């Protein structure tokens, strides 16, 4: 049987995949979600071993890779940053060669995009980027699946990311949406605009797909006409010393009911990749209340619990989409045409 276009490939960044390939992964996620709901087995990775490397912490990505591996018949093995030699006592190249000789696929979450690229280069097995400082590609398949579930389509919708416009999730959304023909907007203070490199990349794709791109620091005009408002934490993992400056800078970019109304769309939805600071029920949330008097950050509790919010569907979809990514790239599946 001829290999599919996915077999043996890594998912390091969305830009490496075509529109048709990303659309296939989204649709395949929907199919696997349906199989799961109906209790129909889908052991496409029977007998395979999957390494889960985490330099940074995770709830959703770790849980999704673990349960998706098990549902696919594979064995997941969690290797945390204090469990293995990676980077400290052994080079990424040497670690990759060893892991590639024992595991059939490797997930990596960490700081450097270079590390995930080296793992792919030297392991000889598919490597899936579970988030780096630059990109969060597995998140995107879940996010656009959630959008498709709500609107029945992707092309022509307007998705607006509000907040820290140059973090991993913002980068990934801007580029992925542009590939998919979705109008993408980034609304953030000028000092947190995405880099020219990312904007140029997105504009290149947008030219092919007809997606419209807008980068602005004006929240009200930026969100007008949006079908989806998306936000993420103001301080990403590894930047924990920046809470004070980000709270000052990003307060006008909080997703609250005024901003939701400013979209002018009643059937709009709100997304958040999670975890979210929508109350003070966390260590950081409590600390920020004491230090700066804020009880909510990037999204208000009112919006988080409103009829517009879809963040928990999005979180569940991480599992179905990670399953699709792993099965497509490692499962020897018959995928006739993409
Ligand atoms: N959205 C996301 O990646 O969540 P975790 O950090 O919990 O994995
Ligand atoms: N931008 C966030 C995403 C968490 C899923 C971070 O990197 O911490």
Q: What are the domain boundaries of the chain?
A: 14-135+318-330, 139-316
Residue 315 alpha carbon to ligand 2 centre in Å: 13
DSSP tag of 177: H
69-80 pLDDT, tens digit each = 999 999 999 999
CATH architecture of 139-316: 3-Layer(aba) Sandwich (3.40)
Q: In angstroms, rounded to a whole number, what is the distance separating the alpha carbons of residues 278 and 233?
A: 10
Degrees (nearest 5) of the Cα angle 244, 247, 252? 155
How confident is the model at residue 85, as a pLDDT?
Answer: 86
Residue 239 alpha carbon to ligand 2 centre in Å: 10
For ligand 1, pick from 318, 319, 322 the residue to mutate: most ligand atoms within 8 Å of CB: 318
Q: Which residue's alpha carbon is nearest to atom 7 within ligand 2?
A: 236
DSSP tag of 8: T
Active site residues: 109, 136, 139, 232, 273, 318
How confident is the model at residue 2, as a pLDDT?
Answer: 60
Rg, the chain, Cα only: 20
Q: Which residue's alpha carbon is nearest to atom 3 within ligand 1?
A: 61
Q: In angstroms, rounded to a whole number, what is the distance separating the alpha carbons of residues 137 and 129?
A: 7
- Contacts within 8 Å (CB) and 24+ apart, 34-40: 36/71, 36/320
Pick the ligand that lies closest to the CA of residue 236. 2
How confident is the model at residue 182, as a pLDDT?
Answer: 98
What is the bridge-based pairing of β-strands 127-129 and 269-272?
A: unpaired
Count Cα atoms within 13 angstroms, Cβ side, for 264: 8
How confident is the model at residue 337, as a pLDDT?
Answer: 80
Per DSSP, the three-state class of 50 is strand
Pick the ligand that lies closest to the CA of residue 133. 2
How confident is the model at residue 3, as a pLDDT?
Answer: 75
How confident is the model at residue 88, as a pLDDT?
Answer: 83
How confident is the model at residue 56, as a pLDDT?
Answer: 97
Q: Which residue's alpha carbon is nearest to atom 8 within ligand 2?
A: 236
Kindly give the number of the ligand 1 atom that is closest to the alpha carbon of 109: 8
How confident is the model at residue 87, as a pLDDT?
Answer: 82
How confident is the model at residue 327, as a pLDDT?
Answer: 98
For ligand 1, pick from 57, 60, 168, 310 the residue to mutate: most ligand atoms within 8 Å of CB: 60
What is the bridge-based pairing of β-strands 213-216 and 228-231?
A: unpaired
Name which of 270, 271, 251 is nearest 260 in CA terms.
270
CATH architecture of 14-135+318-330: 3-Layer(aba) Sandwich (3.40)
* 14-135+318-330 and 139-316 agree in CATH topology: yes
Q: Which residues of the chain fall short of a pLDDT of 50?
A: none
How confident is the model at residue 1, as a pLDDT?
Answer: 56
Beta carbons within 8 Å of 207's beta carbon, 6+ residues apart: none
Kindly give the number of the ligand 1 atom that is closest to the alpha carbon of 63: 8
Ligand 2 binding site (Cβ under 6 Å of any ligand atom): 131, 167-169, 232-233, 236-237, 273
């Amino acid at each position: 049987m001829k290999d599919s276009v996915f077999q043996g490939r890594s998912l390091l960044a969305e830009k490496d995949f075509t529109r048709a390939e990303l659309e296939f992964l989204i649709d395949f996620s929907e199919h696997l979600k349906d199989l799961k709901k109906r209790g129909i087995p889908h052991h496409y990775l029977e007998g395979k071993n999957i390494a889960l490397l985490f330099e940074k912490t995770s709830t959703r990505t770790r849980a999704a890779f673990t349960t998706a591996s098990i549902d696919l018949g594979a064995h997941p093995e969690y290797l945390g940053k204090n469990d293995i030699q990676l980077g400290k006592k052994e080079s990424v190249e040497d670690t990759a060669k060893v892991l590639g000789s024992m595991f059939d696929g490797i997930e990596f979450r960490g700081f450097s995009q270079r590390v995930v690229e080296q793992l792919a280069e030297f392991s000889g097995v598919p490597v899936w980027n579970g988030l780096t400082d630059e990109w969060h590609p597995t998140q995107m398949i879940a996010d656009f699946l959630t959008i498709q579930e709500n609107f029945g389509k992707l092309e022509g919708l307007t998705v607006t990311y509000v907040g820290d416009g140059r973090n991993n999730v913002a980068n990934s959304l801007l580029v992925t949406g542009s590939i998919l023909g979705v109008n993408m907007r980034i609304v953030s203070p000028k000092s947190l605009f995405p880099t020219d490199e990312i904007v140029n990349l997105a504009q290149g794709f947008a030219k092919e797909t007809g997606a419209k791109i807008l980068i602005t620091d004006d929240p009200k005009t930026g969100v007008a006409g949006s079908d989806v408002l998306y936000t993420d934490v103001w301080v990403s993992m590894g930047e924990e010393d920046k809470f004070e400056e980000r709270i000052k800078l990003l307060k006008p970019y909080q997703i609250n009911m005024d901003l939701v109304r400013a979209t002018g769309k009643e059937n709009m939805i709100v997304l958040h990749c999670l975890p979210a600071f929508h109350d003070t029920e966390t260590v950081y949330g409590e600390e920020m209340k004491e230090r700066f008097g804020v009880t909510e950050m990037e999204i208000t509790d009112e919006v988080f619990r409103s009829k517009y919010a879809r963040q928990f569907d999005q979180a569940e979809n991480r599992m179905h989409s990670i399953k699709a990514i792993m099965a497509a790239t490692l499962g020897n599946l018959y995928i006739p045409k993409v």
